[in-house]
Structures are given as structure tokens and as C-alpha cells.
Amino acid sequence: MLNVTSRIFWEDFYVYEFTAIIEEISGNKVRLDQTAFHPQGGNQPSDKGFLKIGEKTLDVLDVQEDGQVIWHELSEEIDIGLISKEVLGSIDIRFRFSLMKNHTAQHLISGLFESELDISTTEAHIYSSHSAISFSRSFDVEELEKVMIKANKAIIDDLRVISSISSSSLAEEAKVRSKAIPSNDQIRTVKIEEIDATFCSGTHVKSLGELGVIGVKKRTSNSISIVCSIDSLEIIAMSNTHMANWAFEESQKISQTPNFISDRLKIIPDYKKQVMELSASLIDAWWKTQFIKPENDKCKLIIAPYENLPRNAWINGVPEIPDNVYLGVKTSERIFLIFAGEKVPLAANDLVTKIVEANLGKGGGSKKLAQLKPANFETISADITALFYSLFEA
């Protein structure tokens, strides 16, 4: 029967170096009597670092839990004769501490979403760069603002983060956010005083002050990605600087700027609709001026004179293309469109293939419409015209 691996990281998350005895070797994987390396689990990746075995220093590539034992995957295989030898383990401090901070930040936000908004966490993933959290329902900006203010106040208050281990029988009586009780004999509870308690096997800081500050990196209707410490400070500083500048330019108080921006954003859909309608009218008027019946059934290339109309305005506004005509269009998105008639020598997508082969850009499409991201947007009309004549006028 395999021995249980003693988990140093449960006793102290801040142990970054340790000694241990090799108990089993399987290729490039080793099992130690104890370890400070946290395995993948608890919604976070495994620790990184190295093991020094004799004169060799081997990278720890992955750490996995198998029941009550923990296996360390090394950068190369080691000799089975090293069983019972002592090793020195060293954790990547920067990586581990980033995981500790981001995991604790996730608990803090999830706890406040539940206590303040009655919104539960459905999924959470911890990375060294950020935490990603999904929730049971959507939330608005006022609700998110309420949580973020309370979270950062808790950080300023430097609330303690307390970890404890109990048996599964006692866990049933615990008042925690977790909906399910883990199946392990020993269950670990992580508590943020006054805010949250939940079952968790991951690594955490000792107090919220170590997080520095929390900011939102990305959000959807029912999820957010959060960052803390220097990453969050950069986002907050950048946002605050732009907000202050906007307030100055619009003669607004900075506290009024979010509502001012929100009001302006409401205008955008109407503005986009008007742009599309005016663009379609302009395309239609221009198209009617073109005398595009090819002479002697030769194919003809027409380059539209406009460069600042939206791509969708062209796609939806161009009428039927005559049989032997190509239409080339530069759009406001800096994409070049190629429309093709029914009887052109090459379908639109085949012509784009020729353009790609000439190193003029990248793209693809269908028989009648293809799109190209030009290597040089400024010269693409002239480049394609030259290629067209080399293909069909030679």
C-alpha cells in the first residue's frame, strides 16, 4: 500500500524550500515522503520549481495528486537507485505567490457576490495572471461596483485569511459557501473573516492586505476576470487617467464621467445605423454611374473610389455583379473585398489565392466574394490592378 504524502503546503503556504526522501520512482516521476509542491487541483495549476538530487538539478514540470500521494514530473528520468535518497525541493516563489493572491481574490469576490447580491459562483479558474469567475445570473454595473468597493475596503482593513483542516463528519456541520462536501477524509476550509468560508485545497495568502488592490480586467453579463497587486494598479491607473482626461475635455466632474460616457454609448447604435444607411445610398448612387459592360467579353476590374465605408455596407449594398466583372473595394476596417461575376476566369476566392501567392496579403472566401487582409493597405489597389493585368491582359 502506498504511503500518504505529507503536505507541507497545507501547514504553511510560505515554505518555498524543503528537504524530502524519495520513496518511489517511475520513469521521470518521483514520489516523496513530503512536499511543498502544490499539485494541480483546487481550481489552480500545479506549482513550478526544481528538485536537486545529488549534483543534478531537475525542473519540476507538473505535480499531480493520485489519491493520498503526490507525484512530481521531472524534466528527465532518474535512476531507480536513488530511492531513499534525500532531495532538496525549491518552489518558484513568484509563480506560487501569484497563485496565492489570485486564488484568495477569487474567494473574496465570490463571497461578496453571494453575501451582497445573492449570486452564487458556478465556476472559477485560477491562473498566475488573473482569476476567472462565472456566476449563476447576470449582474449590472452598479452591482459589480458595490462588490468591488467592498472588496477593496476589506483589503485596506487587512482581514485575516484562516485555513483549517477537519474530518468529513465535522464538515457537514460547517457553515460554508460550498454546496458540496469533498470526498477526502480530511477536508480543508478557507475562511476570510467576516466575509466568506468555503472548502478549498488551494493555496492562499495569510491576510487580504497582501492582495494590494483588486480590479476588473474583463467582464461579460455573468462573468468577470479579476487581477490584483501591480497588474490591478496598472489597470486602475490607466482607467483613472483616461477618465480624468475625458472629464477635463467635456468639462465634467470626474464622478459624473461614467454616466456621461454611458449616455454617449446609447447613441452609438443609432449612429451606426445612420452610417450604414448613408453608405448604402452612396454605394447605390456610385454603382449606377458605372458603364461596366465589358468589351469583347473580356473581364474587367473596377476599383471603388471609396476607402472609408464599412465592409457590411458593401456586402449588403452592392447589386448583382455583371458576368465578366471583378469589383475591388477598400473598406474602413482596412479589409479589401473582391466581388466576382458568374463568368470571370477565376472565382473570387481563386483570385485571392493568386494575390496571396504574390505576397500581397492573406485571405479567402467564396466563389462570388472574397476578403483580403493586405500586406500594404495603402498600395493594395495598385498592386491588385497590376496583378490583374499580368494575369488576364498578357
* Per-position DSSP letters for 200-266, written without gaps between them: --S---SBGGGG--EEEEEE-SSEEEEEETHHHHHHHHHHHHHHHHHHHHTT--GGGHHHHHHHHHH
Q: What are the backbone dihedrals phi and psi of residue 322, each rounded to the nearest 5 degrees, phi first?
A: -55, 155
Higher pLDDT, 295 or 63: 63
8 near 169, Cβ under 8 Å? no
If phi > 0 it is left, if psi is from -120 to 50 it is alpha, else beta; for residue 321 that is beta
Q: Supply 85's cell numbers.
A: 535518497
pLDDT greater at residue 185 or residue 89: 89
pLDDT at 101: 94
Q: How many alpha carbons lie under 13 Å from residue 339 in its C-beta half-sphere?
A: 20
Domain spanning 280-392, CATH architecture: Roll (3.10)
Taking alpha carbons only, the member of 387, 329, 316 closest to residue 353 is 387
Which residue type does 34 have?
Q
Residue 186, pLDDT > 80, answer no
Mean pLDDT of 333-361: 92
Exposed, middle or buried: residue 32 (CB in 10 Å: 0-12, 13-18, 19+)? buried
In which element (H, E) is residue 153 found?
Answer: helix 141-156
pLDDT band at 150 (very low <50, low <70, confident <90, very high): very high
Mean pLDDT of 48-69: 92
Return residue ranges of the chain for CATH 2.40.30.130.
Answer: 6-91
Delimiting residues of CATH 3.30.980.10 domain(s) in the chain = 97-231
Domain with CATH 3.10.310 in the chain: 280-392
CA-to-CA distance for 209 and 107, rounded, in angstroms? 14
Q: Which pLDDT does position 318 carry in this prediction? A: 81
pLDDT of residue 172: 55
Assign 313 a pLDDT band (cuts: 50, 70, 90): confident
- Cα–Cα distances (Å) from 259 to 121, 268, 354, in that order, read 29, 15, 51
Length of the chain: 394
CA 35 to chain centre: 31
Q: How confident is the model at residue 1 (pLDDT cuts 50, 70, 90)?
A: very low
Q: Is the pLDDT of residue 251 over 80?
A: no
Query: CATH fold of 97-231, please?
Result: Threonyl-tRNA Synthetase; Chain A, domain 2 (3.30.980)
Mean per-residue pLDDT of the chain = 86
CA angle 260, 261, 266 (to 5 degrees): 100
- Whether 178 has a pLDDT exceeding 70, the answer reads no
Give helix then strand counts, H and E, for the chain. 9, 20
Instruction: Give the mean pLDDT of 254-278.
Output: 73
Mean pLDDT of 108-120: 95
In CATH, the architecture of 6-91 is Beta Barrel (2.40)
Taking the C-alpha atoms of residue 166 and residue 342, their distance in angstroms, rounded to an integer, is: 75
Across 34-38, 188-192, 267-271, 285-289, the highest mean pLDDT is recorded for: 34-38
